[in-house]
Structure 1
Amino acid sequence: MFVTGVNTKVNTLCALGGEKLIKSMTGFGRGEINNEKVKINVEMKSVNHRYCEIVLRMPRLLNVLEDRIKRVIQKRIARGRVEVYIKIELCGENRALVRADGELAASYLKALTELNSKFNLPGEIKISKLLQLPGVFNLEEPEEDVELWWPTLESTLHHALDGLMQMRIKEGKQLSEDVVVRAKRISEMVAQIERRSPVVVEEYRERLKQRLKDILEQGNLDPSRLEGEVVIFAERSSITEEIVRLGSHLTQLAGCLNSDESVGRKMDFLLQEMNREINTIASKASDLTINSLVVEVKSELEKIREQIQNME
């Protein structure tokens, strides 16, 4: 039976623990590189997102490199919101310098002296007052071609990405192991539903037979009428197609867990389809045992859905 095949595949995945690297969308990474001219620090954190969204927080002088920074990240991350924090500290001769505007300070001092004299204000004019006035001191960034920083910045980005990806892979492994266990449970319950289905038809036959006996005074049953009613019920309550599709979806789900590609969205689609099939089974099967199994299957599907929301 096909369900046994699905069980075999899921069991194989359980035994292997997942050979491929399913990744979570949650992670953190940090990179730092120093040289004689510049010190660059990069921190990244990623969280769930339907698509790949990259948010950069960095000095304005790096804006010309924004597209290149995003391309580096997009080559390694397919989904998730990634926040990137970049800090740059110039070293040696490139260090920012503080310069005083003497002419502006003299102008301030002259104006303050005139005010003191005109209004006979108490106190002396001290350097601390001049420090508080705008424009007296300026922080000057040396003129530097940011293109010269790109190789160092790119290397720092990769260091941060390495840490981020390690965390995403580690968490992804835990998520995929949980999904494998739950998929195995679902497969086993689908097999129980499949075995129960013909029993439901037979039980209906017996109930119908007893009902007709109670109605007919002579107790003589028309076999053709009984069989006709049973055939109609069997056709109306048949869940074979739904069982087959559920088995196919479980096989595809197992295949996703053994893929190196971004599979989160595909798995989310498969979960929607599996929910649709199991709901159809619930509506067709007039049986407490099957309905009880359906409730359990839906519970496991919901738990899997929660897990794959964090898969890349």
Structure 2
Amino acid sequence: MIHSMTGFGKASAQLDGKKITVEIKSLNSKGLDLNVRVPQQYRELELDLRNKLSSSLQRGKIDFNIYLEHTTEVAPAKVNVPIVKLYVEQLKQVYHTEDTIELLKMAVRMPEALKTEREDIDAIEYEAVAQLANEAMDDLIAFRKSEGVALEKEFLHRIANIMTLMNEALHLDGERLQTVKTRLRTAVAELKEAVDENRFEQELIFYLEKYDITEEKVRLENHLNYFIETLAGQEANGRKLGFIAQEMGREINTMGSKANHAGMQRLVVQMKDELEKIKEQILNVL
């Protein structure tokens, strides 16, 4: 079963006066593009989180975020009193004023006026964050799987359409070859020259062999069946499906170059249209 590369996962928990929320968003990408944003106190967990994301999600443009919200009345930052007092005294000398409120407003905007005390992460919080990350990844993978089901239905529909169009083109093959024969015989007759009939038949057979699409039909059918078989595989197969689609395109193009028949060329154009729709969606497959 195929998985989409696009998806969203989220998990949150309440822990010791703080709410921790983990969100993961994934978009399609040729490789793995990780963007991890975590609060300062969780920086030591970043490498481990990146390794988990890489092994679990494999491909895609991944945005991973941890949001930390304090739910108690404890301020996350404290006023650095000695520094602020020093700023106030210096500002008095600059502005020659005793308006303490205005001086404080300016002082708290100065560097180091506020200090954030680093919190040490205990084992319980470490496990909680790791568990939330796993839950969010599981949520994202479930989203990718559900999107993959829709993609698989779309692919099977398009493959069936190409098979139908290919068979319709083969039904026109007899008419097409007869048209070519008639056109050649008419051209020869208009020359009003004596022609060796045996030699003409030999040349005609050789000419018609160049327009034969049996080999392309067999290869295209094999590619279509292999595409369906690959859809049912268990491993990430987006790249493989892309390669198969390229091979399908080569066979369809060759059929078009050999068609030499308006009706068959219209069918080839429709096959190309179906294949382009497949290629567009393959970009979203893991």
TM-score (norm 1): 0.80
Q: Which residue of 41, 47, 56 maps to 2:21? A: 41
**CA separation of 1:207/1:275 partners in 2, compared to 1, >3 Å: closer, same or farther?**
same
> 2:33 aligns to what SS in structure 1?
strand
Q: Which residue of 28, 41, 61 maps to 1:81? A: 61
Match of 2:106 in 1: 132
Shift of 1:304: 1.0
Q: Distance in 1 between matches of 2:222 and 2:113?
A: 72
Q: Distance in 2 between matches of 1:281 and 1:244?
A: 11
Shift of 1:173: 1.6
Match of 2:277 in 1: 303
Q: Which residue of 246, 249, 264 maps to 1:272? A: 246
Q: Distance in 1 between matches of 2:172 and 2:15?
A: 71
Q: Distance in 2 between matches of 1:275 and 1:25?
A: 24
Q: Does the Cα contact within 8 Å between 1:24 and 1:168 map onto a contact in 2? A: yes
Q: Which residue of 237, 244, 259 maps to 1:263? A: 237
Match of 1:179 in 2: 155
Shift of 1:177: 0.8
Match of 2:5 in 1: 25
Structure 2 gap segments, 5+ residues each: none
Letter in structure 1 aligned against 2:147? E
Shift of 1:233: 1.2
> 1:191-213, CA deviations, whole angstroms, 9 ceiling, x for partnerless residues?
22233334433333333334434
> 1:256-310, CA deviations, whole angstroms, 9 ceiling, x for partnerless residues?
2212321211111111111111111111221222211111100111111111111
Match of 2:201 in 1: 227
Letter in structure 2 aligned against 1:236? K
> 1:151-186, CA deviations, whole angstroms, 9 ceiling, x for partnerless residues?
111111122123222322222222221111111010
Q: Does the Cα contact within 8 Å between 1:30 and 1:42 map onto a contact in 2? A: yes
**CA separation of 1:129/1:213 partners in 2, compared to 1, >3 Å: closer, same or farther?**
same
Q: Distance in 2 between matches of 1:213 and 1:112?
A: 108
Q: Which residue of 67, 70, 81 maps to 2:50? A: 70
Match of 1:245 in 2: 219
**CA separation of 1:128/1:272 partners in 2, compared to 1, >3 Å: closer, same or farther?**
same
Q: Which residue of 86, 92, 103 maps to 1:107? A: 86
Match of 1:13 in 2: none
Q: Which residue of 247, 264, 267 maps to 1:293? A: 267
What's the RMSD between the two structures over aligned residues? 2.8
**CA separation of 1:240/1:36 partners in 2, compared to 1, >3 Å: closer, same or farther?**
same
TM-score (norm 2): 0.86
Q: Distance in 2 between matches of 1:142 and 1:205?
A: 87
Shift of 1:234: 2.1
Match of 2:34 in 1: 54
Q: Which residue of 169, 176, 193 maps to 1:200? A: 176
Q: Does the Cα contact within 8 Å between 1:131 and 1:137 map onto a contact in 2? A: no
Match of 1:166 in 2: 142
